[in-house]
Structure 1
């Protein structure tokens, strides 16, 4: 998002209303915070007024009193007024504490709800979104940007309202006491307004740059830490480090520019306050010579109360521009977060058909699919897999093999044709039911940081340890797991880096077996493992596919001889369908693939 575009949307009140809809469940606390803001504004000028009353009314009376009794009474009144001020100060402190706590609590409550909603949305996005959007960017939207929305409540709109009400109350009191002295004291005020405007604009631009730099940093670091093995294998450390330094330098420069604006603005506020105080003293001094007695005494009370009022007035003015920038940054962040929530690239249609278990008949009927419009990677695909049948799909890299299984799981939309399971279109199935009945074992097995047991069950509490052990024994993995330190409680580390590729593959087989799917998809499960692991995996495959409809994407043609039907793909089109013997007799695409592969291995 460009800076210019971001600034245009900052003042979109519909966006602000949308943020505050998330506060609807907590509206009582929101209204209480507004009431506290009003009470704090009312309390602001009371203490300066009491001091003025004390100096103007009671101190002169005490000095002029002729009897000891009268002086004692006046002293008691002054003490009582002082105690009232102390009490008001304590009340104000309590109100301010509860106000700050309430607005911060409100912000965190909204952040919690919003983060849950965003993460749920991310979970439901089509995989195409993850193909085109850096993971670090989505991380920034889910963590950093949502945290910035908290500031709309804790440091943004509600505190700004409280400060504005306080400023209005103090100004009203000052004009009520002496409008001429008020105008003199606030004579430099227009300069502060101009300075505040330029400060706000400068910091706003810097903060937008900071947000963009943070997103770039997150995306870069996440991507390169994930691909660190590639970076190191190709000796690219220095080049990537220089790129990181460039992004980090932009982040620093944006922050330094904001710091410079703060460094100029806050001393300027102090100067304006000092000039206002000086003008007040100058005006009072020029008029004091013309006044006598009670009027001269009242001028002293006015000056002291005005000095206190100026400090109370400039206290919120020091931070209101900063709070407005916080509000703006919260709005920028909310716009980005709502772009995720408004993303309509997800499975829009979900049916209601929810059988306990499917039989496993699969029909592709003239299916065409493209990741990008009109650039079809599958073209007019038609085939049928009967329940319990094993279908193998072969072809060169990029022929569309993996795209077929992605469509079967409804990870992407079909542009043309229909795909059905048990003669029911997959659009009519409930997504969780559909995916629960399809087990997938991918070539690149992803394991999460956690125990072996957690990775097998995916933390599904309904699956017991005994069930996991039984499944592991079924594919001869139990003894291997028990040899690990801690057995089933062994921490596999992030991405399963502490296990070999074959071991990770076998763990994914246990996972698939536990969920007992009616349809099993094996995506090149033996393409990158050694011979010993391949033998173990092949045995596991034989046990897994028994009694299930299976689609096997094969890289090694030796693993699919037993398939009842082999589909040969080339550039997204089906070139041949048949079993191994039939296709070898035809001497077509499959025959050529077979010959090429076995010639490379030195086998004919």
Structure 2
């Protein structure tokens, strides 16, 4: 199991690097700049060593005295100081240039990843969203993608820089003195051991942190959306306790992370002091023996300091890489999520429908062997209005969802204009079917944007016309900003009836060939319903319409009524025909009739 995890991690990093491939030139440029920076940084200690040996020490190489004119000493020191300052300035501007290049490339990569994640998210079937908390999905699109940003903008190239610096220091130190180098390198195995342990512990913590953040976001999203229920039942304290528990879990993971770093960083510092102590002990002896110069000690001391800087940086960069890996696991899980509703290899393009619909022996279940529809067959002719009635769970709403192909059936066929809906291009299928649901969702923006829904082909005049058609203009025209009135998320500032009227206008603006009304008038008051019914009579004319309604009084004029019972079609006919049969429909109608205070039909 562990081996599989390691293999998966390798594939994970390869996959992350693929996103950087289109910007390879940027990364090559940054690496070239960093190579120059590394050379200059490695040259700086050499300048200091030369200054000490040539101008500040009484002894040159192997203890031989060096006597120079004091003016020459000053000029020499100033010259070396000027060169050192020049390297500092050049390094500053080169660092700025490579940071700019990497930031540009990194932001483009993150933009592309975020677009890919959201695009894939929008193609997933409704069944995926019913089992996935919204807060966790939001975390993947925002927080998790942002966690990758620093990896691309700094880590990838700076890891190479740290490696270049380490290799350069080792080679340069060996070229100065192999024996003294080997003494100071005795700390390297311990550093590698501590870093390996740190990496493994830190990776587990990062995975837990990403998971806890996702869970906390999901909790907040769910309870903010359901805050009205929380307050109605006065369970604020219980919810707060649950939030405290989730928050505590996240804090504990962060504390583990801090604890891990609080051990690793001082350990790294201890190794630095140990290496310096080894240098002073053995290097001092070698200076006294005339084997090396004081300048060499200075060079080694500077290199030892620089040696531990990239190691510390590598640990921090490793931390970022692990955070990015943990985030990318979650992102790729989402990108790899199977799109249950797949486009046909050669989809049929249909700009408009005539409006015939046919179910042929359709079987469907959300869960295996728990059939919601059982061998359902019926036919709707173009322009007909068909109503579906039955008890809750009979399969009425499921039929509407299957026609729009939000789910795929297990057996049978669904045909529109004689073509299997699996063969019709999904975008054509859905844009030609207008759905008006009981629960209306409005997006933040204004009324016009909620009717247009980003479709710029719908003009303002068409929006006004559709609104007047469904009598939505009656209340919109009384608003302060009319069609530019601000809408907050889900349109909570509007009544249920007003939101429904906007939904009707939205559907009509898209000019669908087939209409689906799923309890579309359930939340509308009697006065508003009169206006809606008037509009419906007009928009249903010469347009195939499927209606789901519990109030049977709203469907009496339908061309045909289909009675569903436990996933099967049990009765078909007009209102009067079904009443005459005295079956399920008759019982339902009689029950509703008596609830209104009537004693007979």
Fold in common (TM above 0.5): yes
For residue 343 of structure 1, the aligned residue among 319, 337, 348 is 337
Gaps in structure 1 of 5+ consecutive residues:
none
Q: Deviations over 1:493-539 (max 9, x none)?
A: 11111111111111111111111111000001122332222222222
* Aligned-residue offset at 1:410: 1.1
RMSD, aligned α-carbons: 2.2
Aligned equivalents of 1:236, 1:19: Cα separation in 2: 44
Corresponding residue number in structure 1 for 2:47:
50
Say which SS state the counterpart of residue 83 (structure 1) adopts: helix
Q: Does 1:308 align with 2:305?
A: no
CA gap of 1:562–1:304, structure 2 versus 1, over 3 A, is same
Say which SS state the counterpart of residue 186 (structure 2) adopts: coil
Corresponding residue number in structure 1 for 2:180:
181
- Counterparts of 1:366-515 in structure 2, within 5 Å, are 366-515=361-510
CA gap of 1:318–1:62, structure 2 versus 1, over 3 A, is closer
Say which SS state the counterpart of residue 109 (structure 1) adopts: helix
Q: TM-score, normalised by structure 2?
A: 0.94
Contact 1:155 1:327 (C-alpha < 8 Å) held by counterparts: no
* Aligned-residue offset at 1:456: 1.0
Aligned equivalents of 2:99, 2:179: Cα separation in 1: 35
Contact 1:155 1:326 (C-alpha < 8 Å) held by counterparts: no
Q: Which stretch of structure 1 is more off in the superposition, 498-507 or 176-185?
A: 176-185
Aligned equivalents of 1:67, 1:493: Cα separation in 2: 81
Say which SS state the counterpart of residue 106 (structure 2) adopts: helix
Corresponding residue number in structure 2 for 1:116:
115
Aligned equivalents of 1:20, 1:318: Cα separation in 2: 24
* Aligned-residue offset at 1:562: 0.2
Corresponding residue number in structure 1 for 2:286:
287
Gaps in structure 2 of 5+ consecutive residues:
none
* Aligned-residue offset at 1:600: 2.2
Q: Does 1:31 align with 2:28?
A: yes
- Counterparts of 1:569-580 in structure 2, within 5 Å, are 569-580=564-575
* Aligned-residue offset at 1:543: 1.9
Say which SS state the counterpart of residue 187 (structure 1) adopts: helix
For residue 550 of structure 1, the aligned residue among 533, 545, 549 is 545
Q: Which stretch of structure 1 is more off in the superposition, 415-424 or 175-184?
A: 175-184
Q: Which stretch of structure 1 is more off in the superposition, 147-156 or 302-311?
A: 147-156
Say which SS state the counterpart of residue 502 (structure 1) adopts: helix
* Aligned-residue offset at 1:5: 7.5
Corresponding residue number in structure 1 for 2:209:
210
Q: Deviations over 1:460-504 (max 9, x none)?
A: 222222221122222222231111121111112111111111111
Corresponding residue number in structure 2 for 1:91:
90
Contact 1:361 1:385 (C-alpha < 8 Å) held by counterparts: yes
Say which SS state the counterpart of residue 399 (structure 1) adopts: coil
Aligned equivalents of 1:534, 1:326: Cα separation in 2: 58
* Aligned-residue offset at 1:343: 1.6
CA gap of 1:121–1:195, structure 2 versus 1, over 3 A, is same
* Count of aligned positions: 594
* Aligned-residue offset at 1:96: 2.4
CA gap of 1:46–1:59, structure 2 versus 1, over 3 A, is same
Q: Which stretch of structure 1 is more off in the superposition, 199-208 or 305-314?
A: 199-208
CA gap of 1:463–1:349, structure 2 versus 1, over 3 A, is closer
Contact 2:384 2:544 (C-alpha < 8 Å) held by counterparts: yes
CA gap of 1:21–1:284, structure 2 versus 1, over 3 A, is closer
Contact 1:41 1:162 (C-alpha < 8 Å) held by counterparts: yes
Aligned equivalents of 1:150, 1:10: Cα separation in 2: 24
Contact 2:162 2:313 (C-alpha < 8 Å) held by counterparts: no
